[in-house]
Structures are given as structure tokens and as C-alpha cells.
A = this chain, B = another copy of it.
């Protein structure tokens, strides 16, 4: 396999973007990535999207996006792994460049979640769980993650303050991100006093419903050098699955798919976890960030919460997590999230993170962990400075 470089990134507006449609959001992000990278064409396009069908009644999303980008004819495909769809998009583009089949491939992600009612969005998101054995019986995602949070609290004494500190930390970072849906600070007390959605998860423990798109452009190193702009390399890519039903897991207080995928991605990159300087993690609910920190071996089980309380994952901590604001503050257009994580890695590694959130430590290696459902899939990428 040949080296794969990231030469440019783009984001649409994120939030309740009622004035832009699904296809317009995609085009906004895609054109920004094309302009930023300076490529004069694409060889292929992948679009991550969780459920164009249930959110807006639209499938055939690869062809739709190629067409509205003004590139009819372009090879294009839609990929899905629930909220990890964006990560799969990156991975698909990675393989196409790595194999030598294409030189310039766009990995995009997009979701339009606010064109339907809240009930319909909840139902669509539930498509990431097991329809027959979970959803049919009334389970929704806040409920499923609430059970996971209780399991973690029971096992390790994790507190609501620890969860709230994850939210507050991510909002601190997101307040500096110009595309964040909720670019403002939230205190630990505000989280603890916000309305309870599913005990112990308050609404400010939950990532929001978001419209948005993100895009990155991957090329061979030959092309990257010719473009003459800052570029990074993707050196590791891995995906792993787990039982789709939460009830069938051996341990509800961890994310087994992340435990498999992270070491595989690191091995591919020839790195150890201690070589990684910072990470974007899939904080769909605050408890998820804590579980992922432990599942990948960054902290012993039960030690991640106290580490968050001690500030170890803040911008100036020893292992910054979710410098972008994470899903909590930046927003979570489900199919776009995994691509947006790569956008943040690229910005941090090339010194272009806006608003004062640029890491001062001159990071060399970043990791993105993107997750589907209650962890039935995890997609992990390693990105490095050249």
C-alpha cells in the first residue's frame, strides 16, 4: 500500500441550518475542501451518511452529491455505519488511494436531521440499535447510554460531576470553534442542573441533533507534494464491530469495539498509544468519552473520570481530548462527525486550529475514534505530521 496524504479540509455551517438543504450542506463542505487543497479535480467521492432514507427520504446519496457538486460522471458511493459513517467514508477513500486505483479522493460526510420532527429523528437514530430486540421494545439512545452510565457508576464509583466535567471541558473547546453548533461555555453546575433526559444523563450530557457536513481530500504523496500546501499523512486505519445489542455484551461499562480498533490502527501506523499527542473521541454522551478513554488503555477502568476532573484532557493537559469541542459542543450531524474529527486532526497538526484552541505542544500524532450505536462499531484513524 502506498502512503495516503490529507491535503485539505472543509466544513459547512453546523447547527439547525434550516436555510440549507442536505445537498447544499454537502456542497458547502466539499467546495471548501477543494478550494483549501487546490486540487483541480477528483477521481472519486465517498459520502458518509447514517440515514438519508429516514431523515429526508433520500437514498442514492453518492450520485446525488457528485451531481450537485457539478461533477456528474464522478465515481461516487455512500457508506454507512450509523454514527461512524464518516469514519467509514475516510477509510474507503483511504483504501482507494492506498491501492493505487485513484490519486485524489474526497471523503465527505453529511446529515440533515432537523427537517423531520424530534420523534422522527429519535426513531431514525434508533436505527443504529437493534430494531428487533431493542427498539421494538422501546429503547432509545439516551436510555441505552443511561444504562451504560449506571453500569460504569456501579462498577467504578463514577459520579455525575465527572460526566458533567466532560461536557464543560468540551464546551470550553467548542467555544473557540467557529463552526460549533453551541460555541459557548457551560459550567459543571449548569450541566448538573439541566433537565434529566434519562437518569443519570442530563440534557447537557447529550450531543445535539445537528445539520451539517464535512469533507477532506486524500491524495497520493506525489500529488500532495505538487499542491505545495501543508499536508498530513493518514498512517493507520482500523474498524471493529461488537454485538449490536447492548444486552449481549460481556461488559456494558466499556466499548469493546474501540478496544480492538485502536491497537490495530496503532500497529498499522507503527505507533504506540504513548506516541499519540491528542485525540478526537466520540462523545455522543459524556459517559462515552470516559468509557473510550478506558477501553483504549489510556486509563485503567475507573480512572478516566478522575483524570477528567484533574484537567488531564483539557487543551493544556497531558492528553487533550476533543479540542474541536467534540460532538457535545460542535454538534453531531451523525454521518458527518467522523469526517469532522479528521478535519480537527488536520487543523491541529498543521497549526490551523482557530479561535485560540490550537495546541501549544506542537502535536505530531493525532487519533480519531468514531463510534456507531452503543459501540457496535468503532472506526479509528491515526494522522501524523509529515
Contacts and interface: CB of A to CB of B under 8 A. Distances in A.
Contacts of A244: 60, 63-64, 67
A117 to B, nearest CB: 16
Interface string A70-84: 011111111111100
A99 B67 contact: no
Contact of A72 (B54, B77, B99, B241): B241
Nearest to A59: B127
A204 interface: no
Interface in A119-136: 123-124, 126-132, 135
B75 A123 contact: no
Interface in A207-263: 238-245, 256-257, 260
Given A1-B99, A376-B60, A76 B131 contact: no
A60 B99 contact: no
A60 to B, nearest CB: 4
Nearest to A23: B132
B76 A62 contact: no
Interface residues of A, number: 65
A5 interface: no
Given A50-B59, A59-B50, A377-B63, A21 B127 contact: no
Contacts of A135: 57
B95 A58 contact: no
Contact of A240 (B54, B58, B73, B377): B73
Contact of A95 (B52, B101, B240, B373): B101
Given A59-B128, A81-B60, A95-B96, A241 B377 contact: no
Contacts of A124: 53, 59
Contacts of A60: 80-82, 127-129, 244, 372-373, 376-377
Given A60-B244, A63-B377, A241-B72, A78 B77 contact: no
Contacts of A100: 1, 99
Nearest to A257: B73
Contact of A78 (B58, B74, B76, B81): B81
A81 B47 CA distance: 11
A322 interface: no
A203 interface: no
A1 B101 contact: yes
B241 A76 contact: yes
A376 B132 CA distance: 33
A373 B63 contact: yes
A17 to B, nearest CB: 16
Nearest to A125: B59
A132 B98 CA distance: 36
Contacts of A52: 53, 127
A332 to B, nearest CB: 15
A336 interface: no
Given A57-B135, A60-B244, A78-B80, 18 more contacts: A1-B101, A58-B127, A59-B82, A59-B124, A63-B376, A64-B244, A64-B376, A66-B241, A73-B257, A74-B241, A75-B238, A75-B241, A77-B80, A77-B239, A78-B81, A79-B80, A92-B92, A98-B101
Q: Identify which of A60, A98, A257 gathers the most chain B CB atoms within 10 Å of its CB.
A: A60
B58 A81 contact: no
A37 interface: no
A151 interface: no
Contacts of A101: 1, 95, 98
